[in-house]
Amino acid sequence: MDDLERFRALLRIPTVSHADAAQTDAAAFAEFRDTLARLYPRTHEALERVPLGEGAGEPATLLLRWPGRVAEEPLVLMAHQDVVPVVADEWAHPPFAATIVAGPDGDEIHARGALDDKAALAAILEAVEGLLAAGVVPSRDVWLLFGHDEETHGSGARAAVAELRRRGVSPGLVLDEGGAVVDGVLPGLRAPAAMIGVAERGIATVVLTAREAGGHASTPPRMPATARLARAVDRLRRRPFPVRLAAPVRAMLATAARHVPPPLRTVFAAAGPLAPVVTRVLAALGPETNALVRTTAVVTRLEGSPARNVLATSARAWVNVRLLPGDSLAGVLAHVRRAVADPLVEVELESGDEPSPVSPWRGAPWRRLARTVAETLGDDVVALPYVQLGASDSRAFAGVAEHVYRFTPFRMTRSERDALHAPDERIRVAAWREGIGFYRALITAA
């Protein structure tokens, strides 16, 4: 079985995680772990599997140690086993068939998890298995952390980090999923960019609730709970969080300045003094760049009456908020209450995490990443620090490691990125294999 068939075998296992753990199929995860052991025998023979204590849960997070010449400042490579649910009818190909499709730029694999995040997991294991076969011993310990509940912000990664802390392990470099190699990320930047997350936004769920007495829908009050809630949702939409140029975004622009023509070179290099103009431009360019310069809030779920002809006694909206570094959960609640401007709409924080610490975009670990990008993905690829827009398991390393980065070493088009968590998720075979080379080089880099 070659590398591609091993990857497809992993994609065919429906390791779907659910917020309600009772809905998660533990047997699928057990099959996934058994398949890993069968497909990557050298890895499972040579690496120590570290048992995790309370909080790891079942299906289990995997924590593996590859002993190097020294144990200090090890490399931690992360990925996750779980994937988000699917609606199969929306897919052009069955989501767990791992179908190979001829695309405009070569063969593609269509499957849930093809990008998020079994591509990284399989590429890491291909790299480790190949290096073991060649008799390579890494200069420092290498730890592999494969979470089982990343998509539900579960406890697996936290349990693994707690075990590392108990052992006194202080990672020198942590790499999890994140940005990719993309084109056209900034105006004037013609070179492909390796977007390396040096921080990730915080995440919160805020619940808006409007209440009323209820009754028959044939005699509605002047302002039913649903209308009051709809007004609150629209007010929040029309009063977005203010734009701001966070330090990692300034660093991204300053780094990109060397690769864009005038006058953009001058604008990017002076992004700090020109922040009011730059932030307005980035906010207007599209959803991704808008999310780089402001905390975002969007309603993802609505709930009202249980019947068509019954007035809702309570109407609720769940707001997904992603916090820019420098913002806080307390500030989010204050902004939402000001925007809604209605004392009869309750605003409550259901859950939330503050933004992650910001990792350095200078120093030896950063140079190691940037050098590996150039050596394996092309010396024309520009390594750019940025704020990771989504959340990842890497936030569990806050307070344990200083150098935590988020980068997936695959080339992704705009349409491929749009398919994350959506129908027809896919990855190009050539891009995936290129990523294997990246992980191999990162492990062996001095």
Q: In 3D, which of 151, 143, 132 has the Cα closest to residue 49?
A: 143
Give dist(CA 162, CA 394) in Å, integer.
13
pLDDT bin (cut points 50, 70, 90) of residue 390 is confident
Spatial contact of 408 and 178, defined as CB atoms under 8 Å apart: yes
Average pLDDT over residues 299-328: 95
Spatial contact of 78 and 146, defined as CB atoms under 8 Å apart: yes
Q: What is the pLDDT of residue 59?
A: 65
Question: What torsion, rounded to 10 degrees, do the Cα atoms 89, 95, 100, 102 define?
Answer: 40
pLDDT tens-digit profile of 141-197?
999 999 999 999 888 999 999 999 999 999 999 999 999 999 998 889 999 999 999
Judge whether residue 28 has pLDDT over 70.
yes
Q: What is the pLDDT of residue 413?
A: 94
Average pLDDT over residues 27-56: 90
**Inter-CA distances, 163 with 167, 168, 234, 331, 393, Å:** 6, 9, 45, 33, 15
Judge whether residue 21 has pLDDT over 90.
no
Q: What is the pLDDT of residue 19?
A: 86
Q: What is the pLDDT of residue 215?
A: 87
Question: What torsion, rounded to 10 degrees, do the Cα atoms 7, 182, 199, 444 define?
Answer: 50
Mean confidence (pLDDT) of the chain:
94
Judge whether residue 265 has pLDDT over 80.
yes
Q: What is the pLDDT of residue 53?
A: 63
Give dist(CA 421, CA 86) in Å, integer.
8
Q: In 3D, which of 372, 357, 387 has the Cα closest to residue 253?
A: 387
**Strand 173-182 to strand 70-80: parallel, antiparallel, or no bridges (unpaired)?**
parallel
Q: What is the pLDDT of residue 58?
A: 56
pLDDT bin (cut points 50, 70, 90) of residue 446 is low
Q: State the CATH architecture for 202-353.
A: 2-Layer Sandwich (3.30)
Q: What is the pLDDT of residue 52?
A: 86
Q: Roughly what angle, to the nearest 10 degrees, separates helices 3-11 and 118-133? A: 140
- DSSP codes, 94-142: -TTS-EEEEETTEEEEESTTTTTTHHHHHHHHHHHHHHHHTT---SEEE
Q: Which amino acid is it at 143?
A: W
Average pLDDT over residues 355-372: 96
> What residues contact residue 139 under an 8 Å CB cut-off, 6+ apart?
68, 69, 70, 444, 446
Judge whether residue 31 has pLDDT over 80.
yes
Average pLDDT over residues 359-374: 96
Average pLDDT over residues 206-230: 93
Q: 61-99: string of b/e by CB count within 10 Å (b at 16+)?
A: bbbbbbebeeeebbbbbbbbbbbbebeeeebebebbebb
Range of weakest confidence among 56-60, 272-276, 419-423: 56-60
> What residues contact residue 418 under an 8 Å CB cut-off, 6+ apart?
none
Q: What is the assigned CATH class of domain 3-200+357-444?
A: alpha beta
Q: Which amino acid is it at 405?
A: Y
Q: What is the pLDDT of residue 307?
A: 92
**Strand 48-49 to strand 382-388: parallel, antiparallel, or no bridges (unpaired)?**
unpaired
**Inter-CA distances, 206 with 162, 253, 343, 409, Å:** 28, 32, 16, 33
> What residues contact residue 281 under an 8 Å CB cut-off, 6+ apart?
187
C-alpha torsion sign, points 86, 157, 77, 41: negative
Between 324 and 285, residue with greater pLDDT = 324
Q: What is the pLDDT of residue 323?
A: 97
Q: What is the pLDDT of residue 232?
A: 98
Query: How is the chain split into domains, by residue range?
Result: 3-200+357-444, 202-353
Q: What is the pLDDT of residue 202?
A: 94
